Chains A and B, each alone.
Chain A
């Protein structure tokens, strides 16, 4: 009798505890590699904190210096915003264009889909190497093609008025992920909607505007937010393709953080920079989410059966 009771108690304990055991890898990871670092970084941002040597508490000085005395902060932020203003709309519209094209009943659409996704599977280092040659002033492929139509191409990476655009184009080459998400969304739209619209004589462009876009809006919201986040974090391309130059025309905010941390070893200052980036991303995402109730259309069932995933 006693042993049986013990068994029940044991089992109860196991059923209570074992779910937490299953999720414990993430819990520990969260504590050691996310929450801990976040708290630590916030503390660092109030210190003058070199990698080795004495640290001193400086209060809000890091933030004050950044905002009022360091022109590079504003310049790099402006470069990032300019990049985002090009990258985000193009990433989504071109991704949508490719997805719409792929969604036509074409022979070999699988092959095209694969081709469009290819650049997304390779390393940023390879991407940069490849595009570095394409943009090369003298024997670059791009300027060769331009010369064939009688245009003398600029020094893409060496001219401050073109360098940022060159980075935008390179980053757009990797829009396969966005395309794929939107394509999945398109495939989920019921065919009847289009047929009904067709029968009522709605032209193709209006079907895109009044059927496709509203039905796709939850996906568009997702890609909008992820594009904004990735625009703000852009680092590899600038680091390797232009080194931030020429004349700091491609000196991204993420590069500013990176340099402050790993070139000037001002860890406290760089931590403060990164918190500003975090806040900007957070505010932008919130604004987009807030605005979404006006333009994102949720089908009733879609919302209800996935209700707990909304965050």
Chain B
């Protein structure tokens, strides 16, 4: 009896979480009259797949997509490389000031983005980076604190004997990082890569502040601008929303087991 109640509750809650997705998708493939029908049409009479291609052509969405992909691909690479280097440094060397620096690194996670937003804008303005993709790409080559923390926790679980064996075989620091630890870190790197991909792909405030020209827009910014201009064109907005949501969802399904195995949670305890 209790089991049944729990299941009923879970199914009800799941429906609440899924309904908005379902509704958006159905809105994207509906015909115009169905949009304003009452009671609402939960299953369109006919799936108008061409709504997607029609919507896509209403603005230079392929340029926005290209910009998004550029930012995401390069910055993910930058994040993976820089964070793994730094995490390896913290996890495997004993150097002067290490613990103090690490505490400082953790402390930076507490700094609200709003405080950095204004001076960073000025900084990028001086550098002449406003209205380019650089502010969205370059900082990711300088190791995000949270990702460093995750990777460092992961490296700490690798037995030190592996390092000693590699050193006996004549590996230097770089080789130890590149040949031994980087491959061992793979599950944690997938986790970091997935998180960063989602952050970068979904980012709205960064592009909003740093980009002015339509030709530089990313997909999120493009969609929000499109929405502002064509508020009544609901099917097109829904279609672009579906397209915007699909890549992170797909990535999430593939990376699920790395996200769900608890490395996120277990690294925060204590």
Docked-complex contact B223 and A125, CB < 8 angstroms? yes
Question: Is there a chain A Cβ closer than 8 Å to B32's Cβ?
Answer: no
Docked-complex contact B142 and A278, CB < 8 angstroms? no
Docked-complex contact A122 and B248, CB < 8 angstroms? yes
Closest chain B residue to A271, Cβ basis = B118
Q: Which residues A104-140 have CB closer than 8 A to chain B?
A: 104, 106, 110, 112-119, 121-126, 129-131, 133-134, 139
Give the chain B neighbours of A22 by CB distance below 8 A. Answer: 85-86, 88-89, 93, 173, 177
Docked-complex contact A184 and B262, CB < 8 angstroms? yes
Q: Specify the main secondary structure of chain A where it touches its partner.
A: helix
Docked-complex contact A184 and B265, CB < 8 angstroms? yes
Docked-complex contact B116 and A124, CB < 8 angstroms? no
Docked-complex contact A229 and B110, CB < 8 angstroms? yes
A188 to B263, CA, bound (A): 12
Shortest beta-carbon distance from A108 to chain B in Å: 8
Q: Which residues B158-216 have CB closer than 8 A to chain A?
A: 172-173, 177, 198, 201-205, 209
Give the chain A neighbours of B89 by CB distance below 8 A. Answer: 19-23
Partner of A129, one of B93, B108, B227, B256: B227
Give the chain A neighbours of B38 by CB distance below 8 A. Answer: 139, 144
Question: Is there a chain A Cβ closer than 8 Å to B131's Cβ?
Answer: no
Shortest beta-carbon distance from A109 to chain B in Å: 8
With A33-B142, A302-B269, A309-B270 given, is the CB distance from A173 to B17 under 8 Å? Answer: yes
Partner of B116, one of A38, A236, A307: A38
Question: Is there a chain B Cβ closer than 8 Å to A56's Cβ?
Answer: no
Most buried by A among B101, B119, B125, B153: B119
Q: Which residues A260-276 have CB closer than 8 A to chain B?
A: 261-262, 267, 270-271, 274-275
Q: Which residues B223-270 have CB closer than 8 A to chain A?
A: 223-224, 227, 234, 237-238, 241, 244-245, 248-249, 251-253, 256, 259-260, 262, 264-266, 268-270
Partner of B143, one of A29, A113, A182, A254: A29
Docked-complex contact B224 and A41, CB < 8 angstroms? no
**Contact size class for B?**
35 or more
Question: Is there a chain A Cβ closer than 8 Å to B23's Cβ?
Answer: yes
Question: Is there a chain B Cβ closer than 8 Å to A295's Cβ?
Answer: no
Docked-complex contact B115 and A278, CB < 8 angstroms? yes
A282 to B112, CA, bound (A): 10
Question: Is there a chain A Cβ closer than 8 Å to B114's Cβ?
Answer: yes
Shortest beta-carbon distance from A37 to chain B in Å: 4
A37 to B139, CA, bound (A): 13
Q: Specify the main secondary structure of chain B where it touches its partner.
A: helix
A147 to B102, CA, bound (A): 56
Q: Which residues B13-51 have CB closer than 8 A to chain A?
A: 13-14, 17-21, 23-24, 27, 35-36, 38-40
Shortest beta-carbon distance from A256 to chain B in Å: 10
With A106-B10, A126-B245 given, is the CB distance from A261 to B112 under 8 Å? Answer: no
Give the chain B neighbours of A51 by CB distance below 8 A. Answer: 122, 125
Give the chain B neighbours of A32 by CB distance below 8 A. Answer: 123, 142
Docked-complex contact B20 and A29, CB < 8 angstroms? no
Docked-complex contact A274 and B112, CB < 8 angstroms? yes
Question: Is there a chain B Cβ closer than 8 Å to A197's Cβ?
Answer: no
Tell me the total A-B contact number using a CB cutoff of 8 A. 269
Give the chain B neighbours of A144 by CB distance below 8 A. Answer: 38-40
Most buried by B among A28, A41, A44: A41
**Chain A residues bordering chain B, tally (CB within 8 A):** 96
Docked-complex contact A187 and B262, CB < 8 angstroms? yes
Question: Is there a chain A Cβ closer than 8 Å to B141's Cβ?
Answer: yes
- Bitwise interface map of B from 83 to 103 toward A, beta carbon under 8 Å scored 1, else 0: 001101110011100110111
With A118-B249, A218-B269 given, is the CB distance from A184 to B264 under 8 Å? Answer: yes
A177 to B259, CA, bound (A): 10
A298 to B244, CA, bound (A): 42
With A116-B14, A133-B23, A141-B19 given, is the CB distance from A41 to B95 under 8 Å? Answer: no
Docked-complex contact A308 and B99, CB < 8 angstroms? yes
Docked-complex contact B223 and A129, CB < 8 angstroms? yes
Question: Is there a chain B Cβ closer than 8 Å to A203's Cβ?
Answer: no
- Bitwise interface map of A from 87 to 104 toward B, beta carbon under 8 Å scored 1, else 0: 000000000001001001
22 interchain pairs, CB-CB under 8 A: A23-B101, A25-B86, A33-B120, A38-B115, A41-B116, A44-B119, A106-B7, A118-B18, A118-B252, A125-B220, A126-B241, A126-B244, A130-B20, A130-B21, A141-B40, A222-B268, A235-B205, A240-B224, A270-B118, A271-B119, A305-B270, A311-B103
User: Which chain A residues have a beta carbon within 8 Å of chain B's beta carbons?
Assistant: 14-16, 18-23, 25-30, 32-34, 36-38, 40-41, 44, 51, 98, 101, 104, 106, 110, 112-119, 121-126, 129-131, 133-134, 139, 141, 144, 173, 177, 180-185, 187-188, 218-219, 222, 229, 232-233, 235-236, 240, 254, 257-258, 261-262, 267, 270-271, 274-275, 277-278, 281-282, 285, 298, 302-303, 305-311
User: Which chain B residues have a beta carbon within 8 Å of chain A's beta carbons?
Assistant: 3, 6-7, 9-10, 13-14, 17-21, 23-24, 27, 35-36, 38-40, 82, 85-86, 88-90, 93-95, 98-99, 101-108, 110-123, 125, 139, 141-143, 145, 148, 153, 172-173, 177, 198, 201-205, 209, 220, 223-224, 227, 234, 237-238, 241, 244-245, 248-249, 251-253, 256, 259-260, 262, 264-266, 268-270
Closest 6 CB pairs of A and B: A29-B142, A184-B265, A22-B89, A306-B270, A123-B202, A19-B93
